Amino acid sequence: MINVKEKHTNLIKAEAKRLGFLSCGISKAGFLEIEAPRLEQWLKHNSHGEMRYMENHFDKRLDPTKLVEGSKSVVSLLLNYFPSETQNAESYKLSKYAYGTDYHFVIKDKLKSLLRFIQEDIGDVHGRAFVDSAPVLDKAWAAKSGLGWIGKHSNLLTQQVGSFYFIAELIIDLELDYDSVTTDHCGTCTACIDACPTEAITEPYVVDGSKCISYFTIELKDNLPSEFKGQFNDWMFGCDVCQDVCPWNRFSKAHNEPLFNPHPELLSMSKKDWEEITKDTFNKVFKNSAVKRTKFEGLKRNIRFVKE
């Protein structure tokens, strides 16, 4: 006979699927013992560059029970963003995750719907939704929930669909059935390490964020460092190189979320179009887009740096 925890778990996973999530895994909320020393070392080596927010809330980052009072379960969810079409090959490039509407908006709405469903169908359940917006180690929780393993490029990987997806979670005060951790399938492959244009993957499973093209083009507000001139390979916002070369991404399938579809002009724009982009065009092409994070002047700065 099915027990209550199993029933609740099945209900949540079925609703997550109905809402369009790629997959859903659940783990027991608690202290991340393995990640604690890794995070400490990463911060000590200044691998976060100017992302000073990574130093904040160290305890909460490692233990969701300190972040959400009374929490018992972390419900991790994946949402596919792999596009059916990509940019003109001769153009300046932006990361595929930024083609459409900012994922924060899209996923937050889905998470709110899932939490509402849990409260209506299961009962008095409290919790919070997180989309890359609080001190939560998304990839660690997704791996702990059996959704994949953390690859040598430090992204979550699955054998079935690769790595082109967003990770989000609900942290709730409901006990559920917990999933098992999966095994690592990177093997001897070093494709991501060999291909990284700025050698940001300093060793397997360790990325120096302060050398990553995504960090430079999105997070860094100052001038881009001249020693990396000529190494950006035409990336003007983010970088997908380590994911593009990963053999597991041969299995990526196009998403079916209309909000992630790009503005029609985006895919056809040439280098000349990008170099001459106006603020009006920027606002039109990137309305509600994650690219707004770097702002118009930031994108122009990146294009100038890549062009020179």
Q: Which residues are catalytic?
A: 132
Burial status of residue 250 (CB atoms within 10 A of its CB: 0-12, 13-18, 19 or more): exposed
Question: What's the rounded Cα separation, in Å, for the pair 86 and 89?
Answer: 8
List C-alpha distances in Å: 121 to 8, 12, 81: 9, 10, 29
185 Cβ partners below 8 Å, 6+ apart? 149, 157, 159, 248
* Phi, psi for 60 (deg, rounded to 5): -65, -35
Question: Closest Cα to residue 141, out of 71, 244, 43?
Answer: 71
Strand, helix or coil at 233? Answer: coil
Name the E strands within 84-144.
Answer: 93-94, 127-130
Per the CB < 8 A criterion, the answer to whether 11 and 121 are in contact is: yes
Collapsed DSSP state (helix, strand, coil) of residue 14: helix
Strand 73-80: give its sheet, edge to edge: 23-28, 73-80, 165-172, 127-130
What residues contact 102, with CB distance under 8 A and at least 6 apart?
288, 289, 290, 292
The CA distances from residue 137 to 114, 131, 251, 286, in Å, are 20, 11, 25, 28
